[in-house]
Structure formats: structure tokens, C-alpha cells
Chains A and B, each alone.
Chain A
């Protein structure tokens, strides 16, 4: 173990066996470590304690409306691409208590209960997901109001990125400029080298906190050829990307094509099921629900994930603004690639491909965007 801490930006190497030590080091520091696990035929995100919890030897096959886990020929830990869940599940949870109140004669008291402090360490954050977190930061921290719950979880979080060495079947991060290399915004970034010379990871240090954690586990300086090998593996993933979006001027294309006939065609296939918005790592919309105990002495108000695909989403007195499926799909796609730019200065899409994989109607966002430009879709 080195006497001095590795510098930010430096490249080290840890062995496969050191992953458990890495998780333990984080847990000793009070982090709940969330990482990928295999559950119900998919890679999901859950609390992990050791390398055996991770999807060792598993890969996946993804296409529009298709997801299958597949055994790999090697013991790669991060040989899958993104599963259905994103990290927003932890930073912006599906259900959050907003308010607790107690009846007090004709009045009521708002109970002030600090939310339980959670310190998450995320293991296996892909480059597109780092970009998604940056987008959520802009929504919840970068505007007029700051969302204090998000702020607390976000600032406490320790991020271990993983560079993709294989593109998923529905990925298009290169188009969105978000991957496959994790460039910034992480504490540590791993590139997995499952090769013949022993299963190991090249580790890039992204912060002082990252350096301190790495300093606690068995590591050595990366050799030049190892850094080159890692780079080549990531370049390989970039070269495998089969889908693309031409983002040039796409904002105006969408805003100018409010009445494009393609909206009717996609609406005929869209079930308005909201899957795309649930799996999207940047979709942030929520609704609220009020509940009381049976005597009405205590009331709670909960915030829950919502979707612009539901009919109640746009309801105002007199009816919903967006009654048709066409208008809801248009709202979603136009928000991602047009309105988002006006609202937050970036696209609301990072190219992770989840909405394509998990659409039961096999709607492919990249195809729809091409069609909006007047280019005939291949399918």
C-alpha cells in the first residue's frame, strides 16, 4: 500500500479481489453502498456488501422492447449495460414524505421531522448516468428553488463510475456527448480489464474523497500499457454504438413540427404506459398524495413519481389539457429534446437507451427523432 495518497487524476490498478475491500472501506465510512445485483432476470440496484453480490459473469442483450440477461464467457463484474433502474431512484426516490401534520382542535400543527440522513455510495455509475445526475442537479439545485432532500442526498453521495467497455444494444451516448467515458463528476472511475493477465480494474481518482478511499485498499500505480488497454476498451464501446441521434438544431425541428403526421403514427403504437418515463434517468415529474389516519388526527402528504403519460397529469378544471396519447408522447419527446434546452440549458436525454429497451410498443426514440427531420425510418 502506498504511503501517500494517489493524486486526483492519477491512474491506479486494483485486483478483482479488492472490490470487496473497496465496498467494505465505504461501509466503514458510513456509506450505504448501492450497486448492481441480478434480480428477477434483470440487473437492478440494491445495497451490496461484497463482490459476490454483484452480477459477476453476467451480460445483457438489449433491443427495442427486449431485455435478456446472458451469461458471459468471462467473469466481468460490469459486463452488462444499464438495467431498468437509474440512480434517480435513490437521489430522487419514488416516494418521499413531504409533510406530516397533527390535528389540534380547529387548527393543525406541522410536525418538523428531519429526514433520516442517508449517505449513499453508488458503485457502477455509467458515464451516461453521471450526465443524468448532472441534469437532475440542474433541475433540483440550479434554479430559483433548491430541493433540500435532493441536496442532502446528493452532496453526501460517493460516486464510483464504471467506464463502459461494451455498448448496449440500444445505447446512443456518443450522440448525446455523455459517454462512454466518464470524464468528470465521480470520486473514483473504474475500467474493467477481465483479460488474461488477471482480472483487474484501472482506477482513475476523481476527488480527494476518492483518493482517501483508494488509499485504504490494496492498489498500485497503473502501468502505461494498462492505461492504454483501458482506453482502447472504452474506445471499442464507442465504436459499437449502433444508434445515433443528430442533435443539431433538433430543438427547432421539434418545436416547428407540432403538427407532424408522425405524431399520429407513433401514438398508434404508444400504450401511454409510462414505462419510458419511469426508466428514464432524468424524468423528474412527481405528483402528491394526501392521506390521513382513520380518525383524521394525523395527516401526511407524500410526493410520488408521476408521468406525463397519465391522463390526470395535465388535468385542470374542465378536463385534461392533453387528452390524446399523441399529445402526451409529443409532450414527452418535445420536453426531452426541445423544452428542456430552454428550461435547463441541456437536453433531457443522455442516450442510455432505457426508454427504447423498456417500451412494450418497441418505440425507438432515435427513430422518432429521425422521422421528425423527415428522414424515413428504417423499421
Chain B
């Protein structure tokens, strides 16, 4: 208790580094995909489902899931929906500009543990973004998995993310990709209805299926209900949770969810852990 500890590190670890924006691609009317190159390339290593804290100079910092291919080296990809001041600033950055970056943080989808199984991916809206790295990894190791099923729901056709990729994936063998929208409009020839309505087109093998879900909490609760009806055990269901987050390292307290900190115990949780908490209103 006597030695003087001098530290040059900022009080919020790990250190923030800068990353150069390579491209900003428009996905939908309000959603953009940013590709950045961190100043230290090793900071671009991540596992599917993890997130970074992205800082826009003078505006703010926010948690954003990584949506790129984990095999890409030296680059990080984020799909951001512009809904507020910081996300707006983020999607309005220009190639060559720098942002601040911390991370990656958090738990990841159990993609390796799912080897030998069918993988069922259920996404709602922007929730497809944190699942895309898992899809990339599965497709790269396609022989390790049996079937890949992607069920995707969005509000309207103009809100569907990665449409070209979705149809490419849908043409692969042993792969089923179904998208649905809440409101179709006149030119929409696909499914209409919430994402759970797609379950009637899917045959699941309980005990041999790993389900990965990301979307609004209400949607995840209904998806879990469908999975339970079909006999999937809790331990084969995995969710990505969202809470307010300021630090990502367990210090700010904002992301608490029952006994957990979403930043370090999540964002990916098995339903075994989430079951007692998911239906609690205003938890």
C-alpha cells in the first residue's frame, strides 16, 4: 500500500486505437456497412457474435456487433442502423477518415460446438448483422455441419439486409434461407408475416440442431416458444442480448441483466442462462 503506481494508460481499458474507414456501403434506406482497418491489424481478430466499441471523434462511443467474415485479416466490418446522434455520425464517416475502436468484446456464438449438427439461424431486422460472421464461418467449414437454415424477418422488403447474399446462400446445397416481412407491398412475392410463421416450412431435428437467435427481445421470446414446441433443449438455443453499454468492460454497470453483465457475460447467452430472466418485464 505504499508504492506509487504511475500509469500512462487511460482509465478505461483496453486502450482505444484508431481505425481508418475503408468504405461505407448503403445496405438499406437507414442501414450502412462500414469497413475499417485498425492501426494494429491484430486488433481485427474476433469471434462471431463479438462486438466493438466504436468512437466518433467528439460525438460519442457505442457498442456495435461485428458483421464481417472472421477469416478476413486486418479489417473489421460493422453494419449500423442510423437511429441516433452517434450511429448517424458513424454512417456519415467518409473513407480515409478515422474512428476510435476498442475491443473486440464479449462472448461468441458456439459455432465450433455446433459441429456435426444442423444450424438454425433466426434473425430479426438488424439482428442478422451479428449472425453473419457465424454464417461465414459455417460456410467456410461447410462439411462440419449438416444443414444450415436461415430464417429472417424484417419490417418491409426495403428493410431486408444482405438480400443478394441471402439469395446466394439459399442456392447452396443443404441450405434453406427463408425471408419474411411484416408488410409486403405490391411487388413483394415472398412470405408475409412475423418470423415465427416461417417455422411451418422447416423440419427441425431436436437434439441435433443448434439454434442461434438475434433480434428484438419480443421476437426472440416467440422464436424460443416455437423451438420449445419442437422439442429443442434449452442448452441448444443461443441468444444475443442487448442493453445500454458505456464501457464494455464491466465497470459502468449499465448493461446489467439480472445477475449478468451483457458486456462480459454476453452478449451471446445460452437459453439455459437466459430462461429465468427473458420474460421479466423491466428487468
Binding site for B on A (CB under 8 A): 96, 98-99, 101, 103, 106-110, 112, 114-115, 117, 119, 139-140, 143-152, 155-159, 187, 207, 209, 255, 258, 284-288, 290-292, 296, 299, 301, 303, 306, 308, 313-318, 321-324, 326-327, 330-331, 335, 338-339, 341-343
Bound Cα distance A119, B244 (Å): 34
**Chain A: CB-nearest residue to B252:** A286
- The answer on a CB contact under 8 Å between A151 and B7 is yes
A157 to B4 CA separation, bound complex (whole angstroms): 9
B110 to chain A, nearest CB (A): 20
- Nearest-CB residue, chain A, relative to B242: A316
Q: Is the CB of A286 within 8 A of B1?
A: no
| Contact indicator A149/B7 (Cβ below 8 Å) | yes
Cβ-based interface call for B185 (8 A): no
Stretch at the interface among B66-74, B92-100, B219-227: B92-100
| Cβ distance B94 to chain A, nearest Cβ, rounded Å | 7
Judge if B186 is at the interface, Cβ distance under 8 Å: no
Interface residues of B in 3-24 (CB under 8 A from A): 3-14, 16-18, 20
Docked-complex contact B11 and A150, CB < 8 angstroms: yes
Given contacts A149-B7, A155-B1, A321-B283, contact A287 B254 (CB under 8 A): yes
B4, B258, B282 pick with most chain A CB within 10 angstroms:
B282
Chain B residues within CB distance 8 Å of chain A: 1-14, 16-18, 20, 55, 57-61, 83-84, 94, 96-98, 100, 216, 242-244, 246-247, 249-254, 256, 258-261, 264, 276, 280-283
Closest to B253 in A: A285
Kindly name the residue among A96, A110, A324 whose own CB sees the greatest number of chain B CB atoms within 10 A: A110
Write the chain B residue with the least CB distance to A286: B252
- The closest CB in chain B to the CB of A320 belongs to B244
Interchain CB contact under 8 A, B57 and A316? no
A-B contacts, 10 listed (Cβ < 8 Å): A96-B11, A98-B10, A99-B55, A110-B18, A147-B13, A158-B2, A306-B252, A306-B254, A321-B243, A327-B283
Number of inter-chain CB pairs below 8 Å: 168
Choose among B94, B97, B254, B261 the residue with the greatest number of A CB atoms under 10 Å from its CB: B254
* List of A residues within 8 angstroms of B9 by Cβ: 148
Minimum CB–CB distance from A187 to chain B (whole Å) comes to 6
The closest CB in chain A to the CB of B15 belongs to A110
Q: How far is the CA of A336 from the CA of B249 in the complex (A)?
A: 20
B5 touches A339 (CB 8 A): no
Q: Is the CB of B249 within 8 A of A145?
A: yes
Bound CA span A110–B2, Å: 31
A239 to chain B, nearest CB (A): 32
- Complex Cα distance, B252 from A288, in Å, reads 9
Q: Which 5 A-B pairs have the closest CB atoms?
A: A285-B253, A149-B11, A342-B259, A327-B282, A107-B98
Give the residue name and chain of the A residue nearest to B17 (CB).
A110
Assembled-state Cα–Cα distance A99/B10 (Å): 7
Q: Which residue of B lies closest to A287 (CB)?
A: B246
Which residues of chain B are within 8 angstroms of A285 by Cβ–Cβ distance?
252-254
> Other than the known A156-B2, A290-B61, what 16 A-B pairs have Cβ atoms closer than 8 Å?
A101-B100, A139-B250, A144-B249, A144-B250, A145-B13, A149-B11, A155-B5, A157-B1, A207-B1, A258-B283, A285-B254, A315-B244, A316-B244, A321-B283, A327-B281, A343-B261
Residue of B nearest to A289 (CB): B60
A107 and B18 form a contact (CB under 8 A): yes
CB contacts (< 8 Å) of A209 on chain B: these are: 1-2
**Measured CA separation A156–B7 after assembly (Å):** 12
Contact B246 A115 (CB under 8 A): no
CB distance from B8 to the nearest CB of A (A): 4
B residues less than 8 Å from A324 (CB atoms)? 282
A287 touches B252 (CB 8 A): yes
| A106 x B98 contact (CB < 8 A) | yes
Q: What is the bound-complex CA distance between A343 and B8, given in angstroms?
A: 29
